[in-house]
Structure 1
Amino acid sequence: MRNTLIGRFLLLSILWLIVLLPLWYVLARWFAAPAIWLAGTVMKACFSWVEGWHQDGVTAVLHTLVQVRMKGPQGDVLGELAPEASYPTYGYGLVLLWAMLLASRTERWWLKGLIGSLILLPVQAWGISFQWLRDVVLLSGPYGAAYLKYSPLAANAIAYGYQFGFLMLPPVTPILLWLAFNKRFVAALWLEAALEGAPEQRHQAPTKAVD
């Protein structure tokens, strides 16, 4: 029974992903707006070298005062760095959460989906912000490093934050939210696992010796 329940859930999750992913891609620029706004607002408040930001479709562009060397028509010139971050890289957890909620037939799935979507906004903003920080602090070259004067410890912290926001938060957070919203479903998995092992234990009862 446990394998049947898990298999059915996984199959329905895949089917819902197939249905929801195209819709998410079509509406991605609107889903991206709150996360980009949050990331830009936090960056503007925390770093004096941030001049502003804007959204270009699903791309978040940060405008900075950090100068880097760029190739110009008549040789290298100095220009202000404007790193970009793609919202779909960090926003796909939204589709994953809704697909799992629908596949497990979660009670009040629409309300829990809305709550989960709001909780995912800081996660998406984290990924966007740390990609901006990585590009500015770690990839801006000697001119950017001379302007910022960040310590190696700060650079390592930014690299860790970027990896955490890229590899861990987008896939893990929606799964954790789904588990929190589906305690009955998880309990049913444990119960079926226990019932699955019970018949085997009965068949393995010791036999009495015959005189």
Structure 2
Amino acid sequence: MKIHWLPHKPILRFVTLTLLWLPFTFFIWYRYGAILNWPVAWILEGILPSQFPGIIKGVEYLGEVIRLIIPYDTPGILAAGKRAELVVDINPLAYGYGLPLLIALIIASPGKEAMQWLKGIIGYGVIVLVQVFGCYFESLLSLQFKLPPEFSGQLVLLPWQRDLLVLGYQMGSLILPGVVPVVLWFMFYPNFPASLLRLSSNGESANTTSLSVRP
């Protein structure tokens, strides 16, 4: 079915379709974030306690945040046999906003339905790794700089390691979440962007969903 009110130029049509799909994909992503982010928590649960056994007791997933459980010895304050705990909450959604963008780009691009689903699943897996990267470095940053000295002192880092930690956090929070979905889209559709530009420059009014270009 043709949508006549969309722009005729292919590149404008593609951009319009992407923008129209974005609110829907963002709503689904946010609404079902507790399910979509579960693999992130599962991976971190297998990494952080084993890498920092004396600092991180465990990792819990509360549906919206990933919580790090940190033992806190308080001699003379609690009853014998009891221990206090500090918690650090991390929001995996902060590193996964590229997923709805990628899905909107895929929907607005041409391709067979089965391949579109496959690209969406692959993209989701890559975005999960981006989230793990961002959450991991946020965890280390919290252990190093945001906890009381008696805790941060347990994570001994050299100056260059602290610089690397800050760099990793900046990449995970500022660069990768926005760049990775665009890079994935170019990889999924290597010929489509050039075709959009060529058709638009020639003044053709082809529908982006019926182009003869195949990724």
TM normalised by structure 2 equals: 0.77
Tell me the equivalent position of 1:118.
125
2:169 corresponds, among 155, 159, 162, to 162
Q: How far does residue 183 in structure 1 lie from its aligned partner after superposition?
A: 1.4
Instruction: State whether structure 2 residue 192 is matched by structure 1 residue 185.
Output: yes
- Using the alignment, how far apart are the partners of 2:116 and 2:159 within structure 1? 46
Q: Is the 8 A contact 1:20 1:95 kept in 2?
A: yes
Instruction: State whether structure 2 residue 64 is matched by structure 1 residue 63.
Output: no
- Using the alignment, how far apart are the partners of 2:73 and 2:150 within structure 1? 5
Tell me the equivalent position of 2:15.
10
Q: Is the 8 A contact 2:143 2:155 kept in 1?
A: no
Q: Is the 8 A contact 2:44 2:59 kept in 1?
A: no
The count of residues paired between Structure 1 and Structure 2 equals 186
* Unmatched segments (≥5 aa) in structure 2: 1-7, 78-82, 204-215
Structure with higher RCO (Cα < 8 A, 6+ apart): 2
* Unmatched segments (≥5 aa) in structure 1: 73-77, 197-211
Q: Is the 8 A contact 2:37 2:128 kept in 1?
A: no
Tell me the equivalent position of 2:100.
95
Tell me the equivalent position of 2:211.
none
Q: How far does residue 142 in structure 1 lie from its aligned partner after superposition?
A: 2.4
Deviation string, structure 1 residues 58-115 (Cα, Å, up to 9, x no partner): 20111134x599xx9xxxxx95432111121111111111100001234421111111
What is the percentage of aligned positions where both structures have the same residue? 30
- After the TM superposition, list the runs of 4 or more consecutive aligned residues in structure 1 that deviate by more than 6 angstroms: none
SS in 2 for 1:130: helix
Aligned AA for 2:89?
E
- Structure with bigger helix share is 1
TM normalised by structure 1 equals: 0.78
Q: Is the 8 A contact 1:36 1:128 kept in 2?
A: no
- Using the alignment, how far apart are the partners of 1:80 and 1:153 within structure 2? 30
SS in 2 for 1:82: strand
Instruction: State whether structure 2 residue 143 is matched by structure 1 residue 152.
Output: no
